[in-house]
Amino acid sequence: MIELLYLAAAVSFIVGLKRLGGPRTARSGNRIAAVGMLVALVVALVDADIVNWETVAAGLVVGTVLGVWGAVRVQMTAMPQMVAVFNGLGGIASALVAAAAVLEADLSFLPAETTLTILISTLIGAVTFTGSFVAYAKLQGLLSGNPIVFPGQQVVNAFLVVVAVGAGVWMIAGDNHDAYWVLGAVALVIGIMAVIPIGGADMPVVISLLNSFSGLAAASAGFVFANNALIIGGALVGAAGLILTILMTKAMNRSLANVLFAGFGSGDGFAGAGEMSTKPVKRATAEDAAIALGYADSVMVVPGYGLAVAQAQHATRKLATALEERGITVHYAIHPVAGRMPGHMNVLLAEADVPYEQLLDLEQADPQLPQTDVVLILGANDVVNPSARDDSTSPIYGMPIFNVDRAGTVIVVKRSLSPGFAGIDNPLFYNDNTLMFFADAKDALEQTLNALGDV
């Protein structure tokens, strides 16, 4: 009976994930999975012959309060940070469970395969935990978003991996508790070392991968306790995270290894840094932008991370509404890696009430650009950089981009001429049909909206 109820929970996860894949069914899918989780929890509480009821109840209450508080309070612009934190907490929960299992057991009676699953659970869980919190710190701006690299980094990392493996072997062969704690500590450090060299623009990949890891951590805890609900739930999340990871790396035309180990944006892209300041750009004011937009027939908005930073999603929507009232067609072109997590821009624009059907993905939007009168770029950079198409020496060469330079006029709203995260100069800014509007995205949009009244 217990096993069947766990199976029901696992099935609810599968059905829930399936329904999360469609806009109409997504909300019910999420709820189905939540109900399955509740069933699994109740079954576990009933089945376990629990002695320390106070501890369990206190943990559930504290966790619920913190979870509700976080979920209700978080702003949509901060969603990548929130997901990073949740990933990390899921990871450490699996590692803690494994640690409890180690302390509970007499290692010499434990089969080697169980010890191995405990080690894997601890390793993945701890790496997910610290890795996620480094990602959080980078997203929140507590740590620099630039890659943090130092000489000998690879050697240090290799050493850490060797120590982790050695500790694992020592624990299995020698039934040694101390080895376990060594491994746990090293795993925590590995998580930090793995994420610090990764630049902020690559965060969509990292978050997806850590999401996958949090699932694998749960699955490995399932091996420790021989529990199929954990194994199935964890495997599903592992697969979901991996799919998103692959989608993100494809959208950047890079391999996962390149994202993880290349220290992208750490300097090699800065070759053009000297020349870029000397080239002239056409500066635009809010009035110029309003005139260009107000007399267009079609406008394509290309949002990027700058939009999230400036919290400009509502201002964007207001300007778009004003344009639509003048009979202008407005669409949004959303690159798969725009923002700091997969689908980040879609969530922000949905919050601002932008209709779903106006959001176009890469394949839909790009063919429309040659017929588009005005492209409005809000805090995006690398995803509209023609170097990815034209310059085979560019670090982002081959990355699929929006070919916005083929549109009539391009308005770039940007705080300064500084290069994007990848540290790559953007030839788009110096084109004859590009207007540079140097301002915070939100201020720029509000000023343009005001100016539009006089056009």
Q: Which of residues 314-333 bind other proteins (CB under 8 A)?
A: 321, 324
Cβ–Cβ < 8 Å for 295, 455: yes
Residue 119 CA to residue 282 CA, distance in Å, equals 59
Secondary structure E strands in 41-142: none
Compare residues 315 and 436 and give the one whose CB is closer to other proteins: 315
**First and final CA of the chain: distance in angstroms?**
71
Whether 382 is a known active-site residue: answer yes
Cβ–Cβ < 8 Å for 408, 372: yes
Please give, one letter per residue, the 3-state secondary structure of 252-270: CCCCHHHHHHCCCCCCHHH
Of 41-49, 297-305, 412-420, 438-446, the window that binds other proteins (rule: CB under 8 A) is: 41-49
Compare residues 268 and 297 and give the one whose CB is closer to other proteins: 297
Looking at residue 213, its amino acid is F
Query: What minimum distance in Å lies between the beta carbon of 2 and other proteins?
Result: 11
Is 26 a binding residue for other proteins by CB under 8 A? The answer is: yes
Is 356 a binding residue for other proteins by CB under 8 A? The answer is: yes
H helix or E strand, kind and range, residue 98: helix 79-104
Query: What minimum distance in Å lies between the beta carbon of 267 and other proteins?
Result: 31
Query: What minimum distance in Å lies between the beta carbon of 84 and other proteins?
Result: 10
Is 52 a binding residue for other proteins by CB under 8 A? The answer is: yes
Position among 76, 110, 163, 271 found at the interface with other proteins (CB under 8 A): 76
Residue 193 CA to residue 160 CA, distance in Å, equals 9
Compare residues 96 and 417 and give the one whose CB is closer to other proteins: 96
Compare residues 284 and 334 and give the one whose CB is closer to other proteins: 334
- List binders of other proteins among 225-284 (CB under 8 A): 225-241, 243-244, 247
Choosing from 382, 390, 391, 443, the catalytic residue is 382
The DSSP secondary-structure symbol of 436 reads: E
Is 398 a binding residue for other proteins by CB under 8 A? The answer is: no
Output helix, strand, coil percentages for the chain, rounded to the nearest 5. 65, 5, 25
In Å, the largest CA–CA distance within the chain is 82
Is 31 a binding residue for other proteins by CB under 8 A? The answer is: yes
What are the structure tokens assigned to 108, written together?
């010499």
H helix or E strand, kind and range, residue 17: helix 2-20
What are the structure tokens assigned to 399, written together?
């990355």
Q: Which of 267, 264, 265, 131 is nearest to 196 (CA)?
A: 131
Is 59 a binding residue for other proteins by CB under 8 A? The answer is: yes
Of 209-217, 301-309, 399-407, 447-455, the window that binds other proteins (rule: CB under 8 A) is: 209-217
Q: In what order do the strands lie in the sheet with 374-378?
A: 359-360, 329-333, 298-303, 374-378, 409-414, 434-438
Compare residues 8 and 160 and give the one whose CB is closer to other proteins: 8
Query: What minimum distance in Å lies between the beta carbon of 204 and other proteins?
Result: 9
Compare residues 92 and 436 and give the one whose CB is closer to other proteins: 92
Of 52-60, 142-150, 273-281, 389-397, the window that binds other proteins (rule: CB under 8 A) is: 52-60
Compare residues 25 and 157 and give the one whose CB is closer to other proteins: 25
Residue 182 CA to residue 162 CA, distance in Å, equals 12
Position among 72, 151, 152, 278 found at the interface with other proteins (CB under 8 A): 72
Q: How many CB atoms lie within 10 A of CB 414?
A: 23
Position among 100, 142, 162, 455 found at the interface with other proteins (CB under 8 A): 100
Query: What minimum distance in Å lies between the beta carbon of 93 and other proteins?
Result: 4
- List binders of other proteins among 106-165 (CB under 8 A): 113, 117
Residues annotated as catalytic (active site), given as ranges = 382
